[in-house]
Amino acid sequence: MIALPILGCNHDETTPTSAVESVPDTSTSNEKRYTGDKETMRVHYLEIVTKNVDAACDIYAGIHSVTFGDADQSLGGARTARMSDGATMGIRAPMHDGEKPVTRAYMLVDDIEASVAAAKYSGAEIAVPPMEIPGHGKCAIYIQGGIEAGLWQL
């Protein structure tokens, strides 16, 4: 069983119970609510893609009193800093001409293959299938409703 960020989304009777669990309906509406088997979701990696990496790092460093490291080539050249909850923020330049500036959260999952399958089943476009990042785990990117989101498995 996996946890997906779908709390409060409407689903029909064909939503697989292997992807979500039904929560007792306490509302007065006919809306159904679903949640995964975990009570919380955790951002593992917050990625910012920008054409001006140094300026973005300077802004976050100035506001939040953090220090960004040197470029980590295994993370696309991202300069990283640890966030207060233990997650990592990475700021990097676009890796190709088609990549636009974006802020993308990667949610921690136990099984990235099953999570990607559930995202695809729910109608998401899989932009980047699961890939190994040496020393960091596996990540994937999906797009739902024009919003890019990531998954990360350690």
Segments making up each domain of the chain, as ranges: 42-102
Residue in 84, 85, 72 with CA at minimum distance from that of residue 136: 72
Which amino acid would we find at residue 65? S
Sign of the alpha-carbon dihedral angle for 15, 17, 21, 25: positive
pLDDT score, position 14: 44
* 2: confidence class by pLDDT, cuts 50, 70, 90: very low
Q: How confident is the model at residue 34 (pLDDT cuts 50, 70, 90)?
A: low
Bridge partners for 45 per DSSP: 88, 106
The distance from CA 86 to its chain's CA centroid, rounded to whole angstroms, is: 15
Mean pLDDT of 117-135: 97
Is residue 131 predicted with pLDDT exceeding 50? yes
Amino acid at 50: T
Dist. CA 145–CA 42, nearest whole Å: 21
Is the predicted pLDDT of residue 31 greater than 90, yes or no?
no
Average pLDDT of the residues of the chain = 84
Residue 108 near residue 44, CB atoms below 8 Å = yes
Residue (of 53, 130, 41, 127) closest to 87 by Cα position? 41
Provide the pLDDT for residue 30: 42
Distance CA 122, CA 131 (A): 21
Q: What is the pLDDT of residue 37?
A: 62
Query: Residue 80 has what pLDDT?
Result: 98
Nearest Cα to Cα of residue 108 among 135, 145, 137, 75:
137
pTM of the model: 0.76
Name the CATH superfamily housing domain 42-102. 2,3-Dihydroxybiphenyl 1,2-Dioxygenase, domain 1 (3.10.180.10)
Spatial contact of 94 and 100, defined as CB atoms under 8 Å apart: yes
pLDDT band at 38 (very low <50, low <70, confident <90, very high): low
Give the model confidence (pLDDT) of 4-16 as tens digits. 343 344 444 444 4
